[in-house]
Amino acid sequence: MLISISLLILFLPLLSFLILIFFGKKLPRQGDWLGTAILIICLGLAFYVLLNTGASDKFNAIYNWIDLKDAPGFGPVKINLGILIDNLSAIMLVVVCLISAAAHLFSTKYMEGDAKYNRYYAYLGIFTFSMLGIVLTDNLLMMYIFWELVGLTSYLLIGFWYENPGPQYASKKAFIVNRIGDVGFFTGIMIVYVFTKSFTFSEIFAAIEAGQLTGGWLTAAGILIFCGAIGKSAQFPLHVWLPDAMEGPTPVSALIHAATMVAAGVYLVTRTFPMMSASALTFIAYIGLITAFISATIAITQNDIKKVLAYSTVSQLGFMIMALGVGAYTAGFFHLVTHAAFKACLFLGAGSVIYGMHHEQDIRNMGGLKKKMRITYLTFLMATMALSGVPLTSGFLSKDSILAGTMAFAGLTGGFNYIIPILAFLSAGMTAFYMFRLVFLTFHGEPKNKEKFDHVKESPLPMTIPLIVLSVLSFFVFFSYNPIDANIGWFAKYVPAVQTVVPEAQRFDFQKGTTEHIVNAESPASETHGENPAAVEENHSAFTEAVHHAHYPAMGLSLFVAGMGILLAFAFYKWKKFSADAVAEKIKPLYTFSLNKWYFDEFYEGVIVKGLLMLTQAFRWFDNKVVDGVVNGAAYVTERSSSGTGKFDNSFVDGLVNLIGSVVMFFGLIFRKIQTGRIQTYLAYVLFGIILFYFIFRTM
């Protein structure tokens, strides 16, 4: 039953795509109502699935895709595609359908009158289909398939306004950068497949637990699969595509580049979390940390409202990834869910502002909008508080869990790893600062562009309803009835930490010690420690206890940094105690470095892209001159030598023949001259001959 419903949720958006792409133009309002209605139905169904799926339920359906039966030397080759509904996918179903429905509704006004209106809705439909595919799959292969489809639909939507150079460049860049990550993902899948002979998550985990994939290969597989997440979730060093992707329509940014597609990478790591070895997790944690920190420093100086939000998204994705890396499994996924709601709200709010300002995106030209756009302002503010980690918001709960997780991790592993919580808190503080900077510059103060400001109106209902819904969802009550502790909320209970399946030697010490202890103490014979409930319980507690201890210090610190960030924003942009420009002037090198996004694009463009192009030119030369040169050279030599042979044949062999001919001819000519046919001449010759002979013989 749940399987059929989830299949319905999966395929309804595809149906929407098919109807709209082929018949959209003929439908009233080009079918936007159809797409929106379908998504609202999906949302209802998704809630039904969520309510009927218990925390430990697993519903699975399998469909055979490729069957090669028994392969010599390998064993049976059977590739299945399947659907899995468990706590993770049930929650993600709701998230994806909710944000997608919001974006659909919002777009009915935002995109109204666009030349390719029906196509736009069709693309939204197929995007939602692909995203739901990622969510519902039970195996890596299907994950990869939908993963690529998401990449394609993102390509189509970023490049939706392909007449302009910006979108066409950005869409191609997004696709290719994602593909680079996907090569890693693909290789990782192959390693897993070769060792475990399966793509299905549960079978892979069982095989790893049974010791079929261990050591360096296990770590490599983990890191390579994570490469997919580096691409999709815009992690350092492949984060460069996401800010550029803002060239797409703003509701698309809200749906794809804030809440769902970019969350796919985090979801992937969540799904594969049990097979990540300690080294892989450390790698993941540091990538997340670097991403969170770098993009927070960039977001501070950006002036395009969507670019600020884009870098903030990259930074928050870094937080989620980092959380998973340090083992705060629940916290990472929790932040994914809360972030989806308030970040979508922020993007749609930005869309509302851009709509009101007639496609003005530069916050330096805004200001004072709070008077004219009351609803947009309030919802935006609410979401900003959630993102900054102000108490009573959902963001406070989830970010606090992450920060506590980093502290616990640093405490358990020690040493250099203390850098993780330090930079994480710093980034959290910067988050609060740049978000309030954005609010002040956009909504407070005096309007900078009088002319545009005069025409600003609050956006119509189809745009404000999604804003209200999403901002309300940023309150803590939807996730935990205790505003300062997420651990006792339903979410933490619904998504408990999972047991790792990697071999003992490849776990963190804090994971290792407890299990060994349990196994030794209770039943030395028991080898299936992973399935031992007591072991699971105990193993959790090592990390959970550390988190528990870290909880209050983390909360205090996080309140402090968020407060400092907000305070600084007030000081700079509200009370005008300091001039932002003067400070920027003082730290000019740092400022320009941040403004230019750490020069990542310049580096990639100048070194990698240019290098590749030069390489292709060199290869072209090589192919034309050398490889083909050999062929043409062989032809040339053959032709030359044949013409040489020809010459030889002509002048020597034939020449000899001709020479003989010529000699004969010469004498012939002479003899012809001689043989005139006249008797007198012959008589003269005879006479001449006699005289000749006379002289010859006389001398003898």
Binding stretches for other proteins (CB under 8 A): 64-69, 71-74, 77, 141, 144-149, 152, 155, 159, 162-165, 168-169, 172, 175-176, 179-180, 182-183, 186-187, 190-191, 193-194, 612-613, 615-617, 619-620, 623, 627-628, 630-631, 635
CB 397 → other proteins: shortest distance, Å?
Answer: 37
> Tokens 């468990």 correspond to what residue?
86
Measured distance CA(657)–CA(96) in Å, rounded = 93
Q: What is the Cα–Cα distance from 673 to 683, expressed in whole angstroms?
A: 15
Looking at beta carbons only, is 174 or 546 nearer to other proteins?
174
Torsion angle of alpha carbons 82, 256, 393, 397, nearest 10°? 50
Rounded to a whole number of angstroms, the minimum distance from the CB of residue 628 to other proteins is 4
Q: Choose between 155 and 491: whose C-beta lies nearer to other proteins.
A: 155
Write out the H or E segment, with its range, that includes residue 273: none
Report, in Å, the least distance between residue 514 CB and other proteins.
Answer: 36
Between CA 509 and CA 539 the distance in angstroms is 11
By C-alpha distance, which of 555, 428, 398, 580 is closest to 489?
398
100 or 178: whose CB is closer to other proteins? 178
Q: How far is the CB of 190 from other proteins (least distance, A)?
A: 5
CB contact set of 466 (below 8 Å; sequence gap of 6+):
102, 103, 105, 106, 345, 348
167 contacts: CB under 8 Å, gap ≥ 6: 158, 159, 160, 161, 247, 248
CB of 534 vs other proteins, minimal distance in Å: 38
CA 310 – CA 295 distance, rounded (Å):
9
Cβ at position 411, least distance to other proteins in Å: 38
In the complex, least distance from residue 186 CB atom to other proteins, rounded to whole angstroms: 6
Shortest gap between Cβ of 284 and other proteins (angstroms)?
21
- The answer to whether 507 touches 500, Cβ cutoff 8 Å, is yes
Neighbours of 180 (CB within 10 A): 15
Pick between residue 76 and residue 646 the one whose CB is nearest to other proteins.
Answer: 76
Are 100 and 124 in contact by the 8 Å Cβ rule? The answer is yes
- Cβ-based nearer residue to other proteins, 192 or 298: 192
Least distance from C-beta 632 to other proteins, angstroms? 8
611, exposed or middle or buried, with CB in 10 Å at 0-12, 13-18, 19+? exposed
Q: Are 379 and 467 in contact (CB under 8 A)?
A: yes
Helix, strand, or coil (residue 71): strand
Q: Which is nearer to other proteins, 74 or 667 (CB)?
A: 74
Q: 414 in the Ramachandran plot: left (φ > 0), alpha (ψ -120 to 50) or beta?
A: left
Output the smallest distance, CB 68 to other proteins, in A. 6
- Reduced to 3 DSSP states, what percent helix, strand and coil does the chain have, rounded to the nearest 5? 80, 5, 15
The residue among 63 and 694 lying less far from other proteins, judged by its C-beta, is: 63
User: At closest approach, how far in Å is the CB of 93 from other proteins?
Assistant: 21
Whether the CB-CB separation of 599 and 593 falls below 8 Å is answered with: yes
Secondary structure of 408-426 in the HEC alphabet? HHHHHHCHHHHHHHHHHHH
Say how far apart CA 612 and CA 602 lie, in whole Å: 15
**Nearest distance from C-beta of residue 309 to other proteins, angstroms:** 26
Closer residue to other proteins in complex, CB, 194/477: 194
- Which is nearer to other proteins, 246 or 305 (by Cβ)? 246
Element spanning 79, H or E: strand 75-85
Closer by beta carbon to other proteins, 69 or else 359: 69
Which of 72/524 has CB closer to other proteins?
Answer: 72
Compute how many other C-beta atoms are within 10 angstroms of the C-beta atom of residue 665.
Answer: 12
Secondary structure class of 563 (helix, strand, coil): helix
Query: Least separation, in Å, of the C-beta of 196 and other proteins?
Result: 12
> How distant, in Å, are the alpha carbons of 77, 196, 523, 671 from that of 74?
8, 11, 36, 94
In DSSP notation, 515-534 reads HHHHHHHH-TT---GGG-HH
Whichever of 199 and 453 has its CB closer to other proteins, that residue is: 199
Phi, psi of 71 (to 5 degrees): -100, 135
State which residue, 188 or 466, has the beta carbon closest to other proteins.
188
Q: In angstroms, rounded to a whole number, what is the distance separating the alpha carbons of residues 491 and 211?
A: 33
Q: How far is the CB of 197 from other proteins (least distance, A)?
A: 10
Q: Which is nearer to other proteins, 31 or 349 (CB)?
A: 31
